[in-house]
Amino acid sequence: MQVSAGQVLYVPPARVLEKNYTSAIGESPGPAAIGPLTAPPTSSSASAAPNAAGVRLYPIRQKNGEMLYQIAQRTLGTGDRWYEIALLNPQFKPEQPVPFGQQLKLPSDARIQQTDAP
pTM > 0.85: yes or no: no
Q: Model confidence over 22-33: pLDDT tens digits?
A: 777 665 444 444
* Residue 55 pLDDT class (50, 70, 90 cuts): confident
* Number of structural domains found in the chain: 1
Whether 79 is in a domain gets the answer yes
**CB-CB contact of 42 with 98 (8 Å):** no
Whether 8 is in a domain gets the answer no
Q: How far is CA 94 from CA 38, 40, 69, 97, 105, in A?
A: 6, 9, 8, 7, 14
Total H helices, total E strands in the chain: 4, 2
Distance separating alpha carbons of residues 116 and 16, to the nearest angstrom: 31
Whether 16 is in a domain gets the answer no
What's the pLDDT score for residue 112? 86
Whether 51 is in a domain gets the answer yes
Residue of higher predicted confidence among 6 and 52: 6
The region of weakest confidence among 3-7, 44-48, 78-82 is: 44-48
pLDDT(50) > 70: no
Whether 103 is in a domain gets the answer yes
Q: Which domain holds residue 43?
A: 36-107
